[in-house]
Amino acid sequence: MSRSLADTRRWMREGTELLVHATTRLDEAAYDAPSLLPGWSRKHVVAHVAANADALANLVHWAATGTPTPMYASPEERSTGIREGARQPGTRLTEWLRLSSDALEKAMDELDDTQWASRVLTAQGRTVAATEIPWLRSREVWVHAVDLGGGIDFTALPADFRTALCDDIVTRRGGAPGPEVVLRPTDVPARWYLPGAPDTAGEAITVTGPLAEITAYLAGRPHGTTAVGSTAVPVLPAWL
């Protein structure tokens, strides 16, 4: 599906609201508990998402001023921010998440059409239009809201966002090594294809399930998909 700037800004606002609300329900013990991401507590997840808002605000500044402003000065800066953030009290992390998200939203509000069309460089080294920034943020807030492991799953993601996320992940995975897979949701008229190595019979593996489970599978999260005529759903390489 095509996604507009209005779509991505709406998804960003809704996902941020959900995530911030989820953190306000965490006491210190719950904050220190493991997330669904291996080796990360919930504090690591929230510190990462809060720092991501600050980093994306650098790209908004780049678009607004024309002055190259990278998301992070270095990969080490990003890792250090997450590690040190995870040592903060939970209440401080929630406040950081709220303030950094609000600042990013406000900075975006001030961009004009010419500035939205400016080219910026992501942390992965891709040159994109500034209109991609709210999409990058939407992915962060929605997927990491699930990663908190507090009862939010991929069914909580808006259906149009799930479709857009599947489109995005499939595009990103298109050139990566891995199995040849056809993805067929059981509840929406959609289909995705991942090129790769066929199974032992020389055919693509068909993976089915509700759209929410297909999205979780593509994102490398726990899922409830099944493989047609196969005993196991193939493991996909890393997404990001």
Torsion region of 209: left, alpha or beta (phi above 0 gives left; psi -120 to 50 gives alpha): left
Indicate the pairing of strand 181-185 with strand 119-121.
unpaired
Q: CATH no. for residue 119?
A: 1.20.120.450
Domain end: 117, 152, 187, which one? 152
Residues 98 and 201 grouped into a single domain: no
Q: What angle, rounded to 10 degrees, do the helices at 42-65 and 90-109 form?
A: 20
Token pair of 156, please? 């909580």
Residues 54 and 172 grouped into a single domain: no
In angstroms, the CA 104 to CA 111 distance is 11
- pLDDT profile of the chain (240 residues), mean per 10: 92 98 97 96 97 97 97 86 93 97 98 98 94 98 97 96 96 82 96 87 90 97 92 84
**Residue-number span of the structural domain to which 19 is assigned:** 5-152
Q: Residue 220's pLDDT is what?
A: 94
CA–chain centroid gap for 209, Å, is 21
Q: Residue 114's pLDDT is what?
A: 98
Do the domain assignments include residue 238?
no
Rounded to the nearest 5 percent, the helix, strand and coil shares of the chain are 55, 10, 35
Torsion region of 60: left, alpha or beta (phi above 0 gives left; psi -120 to 50 gives alpha): alpha
Domain end: 107, 122, 152, which one? 152
